[in-house]
């Protein structure tokens, strides 16, 4: 059976641990390969390779670093079909989605940071009248750790490692053990692009084993993590007393605020996507839908109708809108929330049931699910489900919907549907979220800051923000 090996010092290697995990194909529930389950010794080896590579890489010219990153971007693009097929098989997402979004975006991440690093500059401050000049150096940190989740596997993995190496760091990175395949395939691309051995090391394995070993390693100076809020808290407990730099991109439970004055057809079409794209497994999906009373009955009918037309099927089929959930345990978690919603009085308007796909009876398929609630504080409205489940609820006033949108521990993104500019200005300022989309969703310019507030995380990725995270600012003060 195929084995997913670590990529350390530019070479694919078996784990020292000698341990392996099963890798499941969510579309049919079958084990189709084995994953290295690395331990602290594997992480120590990866660290050793990274620290050995650091002096040369941190002194490599910006032009050369940029050239290599752009080459990696080109190679990902050239292998789009293979990578998309691998991503779809590993994750259960529709192949067309992996082709249109995941893999192009992974390539774009390397291209963007390959270019951005050529424009990243430091500041100088002349203390006029004091014969003093200050300038700021932005120096790479050293060896940094990057840990990513399973929902957008290569997309989120590269969103971290590309800026980390562009800024001159060397990296020990761990993709999710649930979806390790495309990060594994990235290894050969790195070699082909001429990335020096040791600059980017990829270790596989579970969070408690490989992930914890990265976080605990005394010489890994910064941790960039994307995943669940509970895991983020556990990482912070380990890393904070070690004074590591930390970037935490965590969970969300994002509100959609839909006003009667919106562009209705556009709102409806986009809301179907923001609810169920990638089986609802995007941290930015809008899972709490608040609709102004005047259009609530119409929205309810139209939304159910549109959602009922989504085709659930094999990820490999081009007609599929909704593929499989990522794992059996995740499917069970999502189902348990549907049960909770029913128990607390939620009305299932559509979906809620598993689907049997012919010849893939053991796959993890679930209907897109719409639940009407009358209390925004109920559990289904407060806790992250991270699956194809949304709630809908009417509201009367702007003040009321703002209180409900903000009445939660999370604050990742919010989507506002209105054509009223004054309302847009007011609410955009008041919404407690790192990202506010107005009359659009998942519209991304990679230069913009990306991250959450409250329990959705600390720090910002994207653009120069992340290049600042992956460098230390040092002020040099010269008196003349
Ligand atoms: P998770 O927290 O279970 O795992 C994420 C990663 O952390 C995996 O690689 C895992 O192996 C590793 N990990 C687990 N325990 C660890 C530990 N103790 N030490 C170090 N590493 C550890 O999350 P998941 O289930 O893979 O992903 C789903 C979650 O990710 C959701 O909550 C979702 O909202 C969140 N997410 C957030 C963003 C964002 O940008 N804010 C983006 C995507 C996903």
Q: Quick: pLDDT tens for 166-217.
A: 999 999 999 999 999 999 999 999 999 999 999 999 999 999 999 999 999 9
Which atom of ligand 1 lies nearest, measured to the CA of 212? 19
| ipTM of the complex in this document | 0.98
Which atom of ligand 1 lies nearest, measured to the CA of 412? 41
Q: Give yes or no for residue 40 CB within 6 A of ligand 1.
A: no
d(CA 209, CA 193): 30
**369-372/389-395 β-pairing:** parallel
Centre of ligand 1 from the C-alpha of residue 129, in Å: 52
Centre of ligand 1 from the C-alpha of residue 226, in Å: 5
d(CA 442, CA 444): 6
Biggest alpha carbon–alpha carbon distance for the chain: 80
The tokens 């020990």 sit on which residue?
A: 172
Q: Give yes or no for residue 83 CB within 6 A of ligand 1.
A: no
Task: Give every CB contact of residue 12 below 8 A, 6+ residues apart in sequence.
Answer: 5, 6, 187
337: Cα within 13 Å, side-chain hemisphere: 24
From the list 199, 64, 58, the residue with the least C-alpha distance to 137 is 58
Instruction: Determine which residue's CA is closest to atom 39 belonging to ligand 1.
Output: 249
pLDDT values of the chain reduced to their tens digit, one per residue, 480 residues: 899 999 999 999 999 999 999 999 999 999 999 999 999 999 999 999 999 999 999 999 999 999 999 999 999 999 999 999 999 999 999 999 999 999 999 999 999 999 999 999 999 999 999 999 999 999 999 999 999 999 999 999 999 999 999 999 999 999 999 999 999 999 999 999 999 999 999 999 999 999 999 999 999 999 999 999 999 999 999 999 999 999 999 999 999 999 999 999 999 999 999 999 999 999 999 999 999 999 999 999 999 999 999 999 999 999 999 999 999 999 999 999 999 999 999 999 999 999 999 999 999 999 999 999 999 999 999 999 999 999 999 999 999 999 999 999 999 999 999 999 999 999 999 999 999 999 999 999 999 999 999 999 999 999 999 999 999 999 999 999
Residue to substitute in 147, 149, 222, 331 for testing ligand 1 pocket (most ligand atoms within 8 angstroms of CB)? 149
Cα of first residue to Cα of last residue in the chain, in angstroms, is 68
Residue 363 pLDDT: 98
d(CA 19, CA 213): 15
Which atom of ligand 1 lies nearest, measured to the CA of 452? 41
Q: Give yes or no for residue 216 CB within 6 A of ligand 1.
A: no
Return the DSSP state at 285. Answer: -
From the list 48, 3, 4, the residue with the least C-alpha distance to 204 is 4
Instruction: Determine which residue's CA is closest to atom 15 belonging to ligand 1.
Output: 207
Angle 173-179-182 (CA atoms, 0-180°, nearest 5)? 70
Token code pair at residue 57: 């890489």
Centre of ligand 1 from the C-alpha of residue 91, in Å: 15
Token code pair at residue 77: 């693009």
Which atom of ligand 1 lies nearest, measured to the CA of 227? 30
Q: Give yes or no for residue 139 CB within 6 A of ligand 1.
A: no
Instruction: Determine which residue's CA is closest to atom 32 belonging to ligand 1.
Output: 228
Q: Give yes or no for residue 351 CB within 6 A of ligand 1.
A: no
From the list 175, 374, 109, 155, the residue with the least C-alpha distance to 283 is 155
Token code pair at residue 233: 């808290």
Residue to substitute in 227, 251, 282, 337 for testing ligand 1 pocket (most ligand atoms within 8 angstroms of CB)? 227
Which atom of ligand 1 lies nearest, measured to the CA of 250? 41
Instruction: Determine which residue's CA is closest to atom 34 belonging to ligand 1.
Output: 251
* Gyration radius of the chain's alpha carbons: 23
């Amino acid at each position: 059976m195929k084995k997913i090996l670590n990529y350390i010092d530019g070479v694919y290697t078996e784990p020292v641990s000698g341990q392996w995990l099963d890798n499941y194909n969510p579309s049919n529930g079958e084990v189709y390969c084995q994953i290295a389950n690395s331990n602290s010794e594997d992480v120590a080896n990866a660290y050793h390779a990274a620290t050995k590579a650091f002096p040369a890489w941190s002194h490599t010219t910006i032009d050369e670093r940029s050239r290599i990153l752009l080459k990696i971007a080109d190679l990902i693009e050239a292998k789009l079909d293979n990578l998309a097929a691998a991503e779809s098989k590993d994750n259960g997402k529709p192949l067309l989605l992996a082709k249109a979004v995941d893999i192009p975006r992974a390539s774009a991440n390397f291209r963007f940071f390959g270019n951005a690093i050529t424009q990243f500059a430091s500041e100088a401050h002349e203390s006029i009248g004091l014969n003093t000049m200050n300038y700021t150096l932005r120096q790479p940190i050293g060896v940094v750790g990057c840990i990513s989740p399973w929902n957008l596997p290569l997309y989120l993995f590269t969103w971290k490692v590309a800026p980390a190496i562009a800024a001159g760091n060397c990296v020990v990175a761990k993709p999710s053990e649930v979806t390790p395949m495309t990060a594994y395939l990235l290894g050969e691309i790195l070699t082909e692009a001429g990335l020096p051995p040791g600059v980017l090391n990829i270790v596989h394995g579970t969070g408690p084993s490989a992930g914890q070993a990265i976080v605990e390693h005394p010489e890994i100076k910064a941790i960039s993590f994307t995943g669940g809020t509970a895991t983020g808290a556990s990482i912070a407990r380990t890393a904070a007393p070690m004074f590591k730099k930390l970037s935490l991109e965590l969970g969300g439970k994002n509100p959609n605020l839909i006003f009667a004055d919106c562009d209705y057809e556009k709102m409806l079409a986009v809301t179907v996507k923001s609810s169920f794209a990638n089986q609802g497994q995007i941290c930015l999906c809008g899972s709490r839908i608040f609709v102004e009373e005047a259009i609530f009955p119409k929205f309810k009918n139209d939304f159910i109708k549109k959602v009922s037309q989504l085709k659930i099927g094999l990820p490999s089929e081009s007609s599929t809108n909704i593929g499989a959930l990522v794992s059996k345990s995740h499917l069970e978690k999502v189902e348990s929330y549907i049960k909770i919603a029913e128990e607390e009085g939620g009305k299932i308007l559509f979906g809620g049931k598993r689907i049997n796909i012919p010849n893939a009876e053991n796959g993890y398929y679930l209907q897109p699910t719409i639940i009407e609630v009358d209390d925004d504080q109920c559990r289904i409205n407060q806790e992250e489900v991270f699956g194809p489940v949304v709630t809908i609820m009417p509201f009367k006033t702007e003040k009321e919907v703002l209180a409900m949108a903000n009445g939660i521990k999370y604050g990742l993104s919010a989507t506002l549907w209105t054509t009223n500019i004054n309302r847009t200005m007011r609410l955009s300022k008041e919404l407690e979220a790192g990202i506010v989309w107005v009359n659009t969703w998942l519209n991304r310019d990679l230069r913009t800051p990306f991250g959450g507030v409250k329990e959705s995380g600390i720090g910002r990725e994207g653009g120069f923000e992340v290049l600042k995270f992956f460098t230390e600012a040092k002020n040099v003060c010269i008196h003349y």
